[in-house]
Structure 1
Amino acid sequence: MARTLSKRAGGSLAPWLGVALIVILCDQLTKIAIAKVFAYGEGRVIAPFFNLVLVYNRGAAFSFLAAAGGWQRWAFTALGIVAALVICYLLKRHAAQRLFCTALSLILGGALGNVIDRLAYGHVIDFLDFHVRAWHWPAFNLADSAITIGAALLVFDELRRVRGSR
């Protein structure tokens, strides 16, 4: 009986780490391709609302703390690693909750994709530039997209869970 309960309470990390690994691979491959094809600051118009442009982000989301003295590289790296460890714990503990774990896996892959950049280059490579006329959304990358989608899925999962408990 105890064995059944413990097996149900925790599950395999493998499928969720697989999702995170796919995110990391796609993120890193796109960043490598953009860095090889573009010079820093160079961009190409893809659609009336979308450009590819190579930029570096030394800060966090929306270049938060980008102009700080360099300490932010290590602070955001440490934050990403701590987040990854917490997420792995949650994935192990809630492995049977598919939507929750999918969301966490996307966030994990995105966080580690950006940690890899910070460790390898000292900055995060961004290249997706959406805009409406002269107003540009801050450039971002696939890791950021995975984190955003994962966060949205977490909100959706929680709303679904709250609605189901009524």
Structure 2
Amino acid sequence: MRWSMLAGVDGRDVLRVLDLVAGFDVWIGGGWGIDALIGHQTRDHRDLDLMHRHEHEHGVLEALAAAGFVETLDWRPIRFVQTHEDGREIDLHPLVFQPDGSARQASPKPDEPFIYPANCFTSGVIEGREVPCLSAEQQVHFHQGYAPSERDRHDMAQLREAFGIHTHF
């Protein structure tokens, strides 16, 4: 896999990762998920957040390993990080789907999992290509209950402007 020479993860990198894990259910979250909803890159990104079906984890990991990614952080069952030798990171979040199409992700509080309503799985656009991502409402939901960074403030401003929705900061 040939990565871009710029620091961080750019749109072409995101599409390359999606091509690697084609055939597995994944959704883009975090900053790239917001940029996908907006339809273009609005800021630099240090990593790529990917939600994936828990039962697809083995296949996703095999695909990433074949491209030179290795695990550098393991906070399972909440999340884990795969890093390429050039420093690019993919932050993976395993989801356990329910019969109604919603999903749950483990959280630091075992009795309070992160909830993904069935309607939060949507699509956006990166580099002109339709990609799976989380909805604006889900992004806002996950951006609460902590002191926001400048990146968080930027991302929420993008959602307010594009969708006219209320954010917590």
TM range (shorter): under 0.3
Relative contact order: is structure 1 or structure 2 higher (C-alpha 8 Å, sep ≥ 6)? 1
- Structure with bigger strand share is 2
TM-score (norm 2): 0.24
User: Computing the radius of gyration over CA atoms, which structure comes out larger, 1 or 2?
Assistant: 1
